[in-house]
Amino acid sequence: MSAKIVSEAAIRRLPAYYRHLRELEAAGVRQVSSKELGERLHQTPSQIRQDFNTFGGIGRQGFGYSVSELKTRIGAELGLDRGYQVIILGAGSIGSAVARYETFAREGFRIMALFDIAEERIGTEIGGAKVYDVRELERFLQENVVDIAVIALPASAAQDAMRRLEAGGVAAVWNFAPVDLQYQSSRMEVVNVHLAESLQVLTYRMAHRGEAAD
Amino acid sequence: MSAKIVSEAAIRRLPAYYRHLRELEAAGVRQVSSKELGERLHQTPSQIRQDFNTFGGIGRQGFGYSVSELKTRIGAELGLDRGYQVIILGAGSIGSAVARYETFAREGFRIMALFDIAEERIGTEIGGAKVYDVRELERFLQENVVDIAVIALPASAAQDAMRRLEAGGVAAVWNFAPVDLQYQSSRMEVVNVHLAESLQVLTYRMAHRGEAAD
């Protein structure tokens, strides 16, 4: 792995490259040029070549790239060349959706367990994973290797959950609670989803249709 | 509304301002300075003042801002000063989670109906909204005003859904299908969520911990 400074914007483009390469591979395409990828992704070919150079010197511009090689290379860069053991805190609507989302299982994210405080949910199964009493979280973390915790809790409960996860040795959190958790600890990796804020970007655009900013 | 050019980055900061102002209001705070807001949001006070100036001249730096006035002003900028009629295409895990997500209902997004192709889902209720046969979509769009459609379908079905929504006069789509829909039509506003790609940003960071880029 290179130790170059990689911009946050470039990191966020990688999953889109990966998705398009997977689509090309599924369609039987074997070679792709930076121009063709650029057209698919609405980026300039030079941006694409620059990104591929940044991520460890993926070369061969002019001759095109091998779709499967490039996909494997970018998948490894994204950490998708391994499996992940996942737990979900909160078995409400969002937590249940993540547990049931087949795409994640197919891509190597194994949902080990959910945790909740509601008596009626504890002991049930969601998407094939058992719902535990959240009081069992510490014991579970002692007995199992957990790579990623999904926080699907109200904002008021998310901070305490972070503390317990960190104490239990969980290094990565995918957070759906409407609160920015990334600043609370320097030892954990956190990505915040903020669904409501994504919807508000849509309503912003609806409210400002036809303005110069469009 | 101002006709200034507003950057995509500034638009994406607005919902976070709104969330923090709502938290401050709930905590009984009545005045806030750009310095205090900056500390909460991990932004410089000058960035915050610049954003507020861009969005229609929200002034009063030095004296602080009125929390409730600022929240109302930014809420209006985000289009949250009205209600929205919403339908959901796809009553699977993601579509059901959106239908059940209480936060949206509380913020004025009324889920009118879901649409699906699966016989066993049609006629059921999810989060208080009825699931219709997707073949009834055109009739529903003729008889009802729909502001926003949520696409919670497989990628292969999303494109056709877009076409039908556009033909039915729906102007805004919140897309959860793993495909970029914004380039397909210039007449509709689309925000793509791409949950899998958000998770891949997390695994990227896990794979590159301790590198210079961190």
ipTM for the predicted complex: 0.90
Mean pLDDT of B59-78: 83
Instruction: Check B191 against A198: CB less than 8 A apart.
Output: yes
Q: What is the pLDDT of chain B when averaged over all its residues?
A: 88
**B213 band by pLDDT with thresholds 50, 70 and 90:** very low
Instruction: Check B80 against A109: CB less than 8 A apart.
Output: no
Burial label for A109, CB within 10 Å (0-12, 13-18, 19+), is buried
A63 to chain B, any CB pair closer than 8 A? The answer is no
What are the structural domains of chain A? Answer: 8-77 (1.10.10.10), 84-198 (3.40.50.720)
Residues A156 and A176: their CA atoms lie apart, in Å, by 12
Q: Which residues of A touch B94 (CB under 8 A)?
A: 97, 101
Mean pLDDT lowest among A12-16, A169-173, B60-64, B167-171 = B60-64
B106 to chain A, any CB pair closer than 8 A? The answer is no
Segment B7-54, tens digit of pLDDT: 888 888 899 999 999 999 999 999 998 889 898 888 898 888 888 887
B11 to chain A, any CB pair closer than 8 A? The answer is yes
User: What is residue A180's predicted lDDT score, i.e. its pLDDT?
Assistant: 80
Instruction: Check A212 against B148: CB less than 8 A apart.
Output: no
Residues B114 and B121: their CA atoms lie apart, in Å, by 10
What's the token pair of residue A44? 């300039």
CA distance, residue B62 to nearest chain A CA (Å): 26
Mean pLDDT lowest among A61-75, A113-127, B100-114 = A61-75
What's the token pair of residue A197? 């804020």
Pick A12 or A56 by higher pLDDT. A12
Instruction: Check B201 against A11: CB less than 8 A apart.
Output: yes
If you write DSSP's letter for every residue of B11-24 in order, what string do you get? HHHHHHHHHHHHHH
Gyration radius (Cα) of chain B, Å: 20
Half-sphere exposure of A108 (CA within 13 A, CB side): 13
| CB contact set of A65 (below 8 Å; sequence gap of 6+) | A31, A32, A33, A34, A37, A52, A58
Segment B137-157, tens digit of pLDDT: 999 999 999 999 999 999 889
Q: Please say if the pLDDT value at position A107 is more than 90.
A: no
For A27, phi then psi, to 5°, come to: -85, 0
Q: Which amino acid makes up residue A85?
A: Q
Residues B4 and A21: their CA atoms lie apart, in Å, by 38
User: What is residue A214's predicted lDDT score, i.e. its pLDDT?
Assistant: 40
Reduced to 3 states (helix: H, G, I; strand: E, B; else coil), residue A175 is: strand
User: What is residue A1's predicted lDDT score, i.e. its pLDDT?
Assistant: 42
Segment A38-87, tens digit of pLDDT: 988 888 988 888 888 877 656 665 568 889 989 999 999 999 999 999 99
Residue of B106, B107, B105, B112 lying closest to B86 (CA atoms): B112
Residues B176 and B181: their CA atoms lie apart, in Å, by 10
Q: What is the pLDDT of chain A when averaged over all its residues?
A: 88
**B1 band by pLDDT with thresholds 50, 70 and 90:** very low
Q: Which amino acid makes up residue B52?
A: F
Segment A150-187, tens digit of pLDDT: 999 998 899 899 999 999 999 999 999 988 876 555 68
Edge-first strand listing for the sheet containing A129-133: A125-126, A129-133, A109-116, A84-89, A148-151, A172-175, A189-192
- DSSP state letter for A102: H
Residues B193 and A121: their CA atoms lie apart, in Å, by 28
